[in-house]
């Protein structure tokens, strides 16, 4: 479903991606691990065409994102749902209107169908009855749940998660992990999770890749990753100081 082939990207005077290769099978959940500022979110932005590679290819279900015109790119983005690190809710809009926005903008559903779809997604994340609340009335964990509901309200083919457990206490983070697993069963989407949370990555992922110095240093199943002999991988798993340079 998702292939990044030798992707290179320089931002300012820094080469962030240095030949990134990444393949995500249809229906799988792939976690991109790495410390803050390493380029994980930059990789996500390439997948939805917010950034274009300086070199290499980004293919979504065989479509070369960099070659899409504006209309093609907008159509491609309709296949995505995204949970932003901050939940990304519009503070001036009620929960219902936040949820309904992608349906109103991108579908031909009737008002009644939109209400039903919003209610369904909120029920899936345990937030039924919050449609009339404003984001300011919600806790951080509740905002994440609503953001997650909005990510899946369009029944997307692909879901991107940008640091889904950042800023949450351990109990709420575990709740979000459980929700992600539950939603994967319901919507059967292909998912990419950007995180530095090892517990989350091991819990929700089919495959894991460690982004290091602009490319994937090592990848594998959760068990393969845990049992890796690579010292950089093991140091990241254990949180044992800075990552070595080689």
Binning pLDDT at 50, 70 and 90, where does residue 44 land? very high
Tens digit of pLDDT for each residue in 106-121?
A: 888 999 999 999 999 9
Instruction: Say if 31 falls within a structural domain.
Output: yes
Instruction: Say if 198 falls within a structural domain.
Output: yes
Give the total number of structural domains in the chain.
Answer: 1
Instruction: Say if 73 falls within a structural domain.
Output: yes
- How, if at all, do strands 14-24 and 2-11 pair? antiparallel
Binning pLDDT at 50, 70 and 90, where does residue 138 land? very high
Instruction: Say if 221 falls within a structural domain.
Output: yes
Q: How far apart are CA 183 and CA 177, in angstroms?
A: 10
47 is in which domain, residue-wise? Answer: 1-79+158-167+190-239
Contact between 177 and 203 (Cβ < 8 Å)? yes
The structure's pTM equals 0.88
Instruction: Say if 151 falls within a structural domain.
Output: no
Instruction: Say if 220 falls within a structural domain.
Output: yes
Binning pLDDT at 50, 70 and 90, where does residue 99 land? very high
Instruction: Say if 134 falls within a structural domain.
Output: no
Tell me the C-alpha to C-alpha distance, in Å, between residue 46 and each of 9, 22, 172, 189, 240: 9, 12, 29, 19, 30
**For residue 210, what is the domain's CATH number?**
3.40.50.300
Task: Please report the pLDDT score of residue 25 as a whole number.
Answer: 93
Alpha helices in the chain (DSSP H): 40-47, 70-77, 95-106, 111-124, 140-152, 170-187, 198-204, 222-226, 231-238
Give the CA radius of gyration of the chain. Answer: 18
Task: Please report the pLDDT score of residue 83 as a whole number.
Answer: 86
Task: Please report the pLDDT score of residue 106 as a whole number.
Answer: 84
């Amino acid at each position: 479903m998702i292939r990044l082939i030798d992707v290179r990207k320089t931002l300012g005077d820094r080469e962030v991606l240095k030949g990134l290769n990444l393949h995500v099978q249809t229906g799988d959940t792939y976690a991109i691990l790495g410390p803050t500022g390493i380029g994980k979110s930059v990789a996500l932005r390439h997948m939805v065409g917010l950034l274009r590679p300086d070199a290499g290819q980004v293919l979504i279900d065989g479509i070369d994102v960099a070659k899409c015109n504006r209309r093609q790119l907008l159509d491609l983005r309709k296949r995505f749902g995204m949970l932003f690190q901050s939940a990304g809710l519009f503070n001036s809009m009620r929960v219902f209107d936040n949820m309904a926005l992608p349906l109103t903008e991108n579908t031909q559903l009737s008002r009644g169908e939109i209400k039903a779809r919003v209610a369904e997604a909120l029920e899936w994340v345990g937030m039924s009855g919050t449609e009339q609340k404003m984001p300011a009335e919600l806790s951080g964990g509740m905002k994440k749940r609503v953001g997650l509901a909005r990510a899946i309200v369009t029944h997307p083919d692909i879901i991107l998660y940008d640091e889904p457990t950042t800023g949450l206490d351990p109990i709420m983070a575990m709740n979000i992990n459980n929700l992600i697993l539950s939603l994967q069963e319901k919507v059967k989407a292909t998912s990419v999770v950007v995180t530095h949370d090892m517990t989350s990555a091991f819990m929700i992922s089919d495959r894991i890749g460690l982004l290091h110095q602009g490319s994937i240093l090592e990848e594998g199943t959760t068990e393969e990753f845990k049992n890796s002999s690579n010292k950089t991988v093991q140091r990241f798993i254990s949180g044992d100081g800075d990552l070595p340079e080689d």
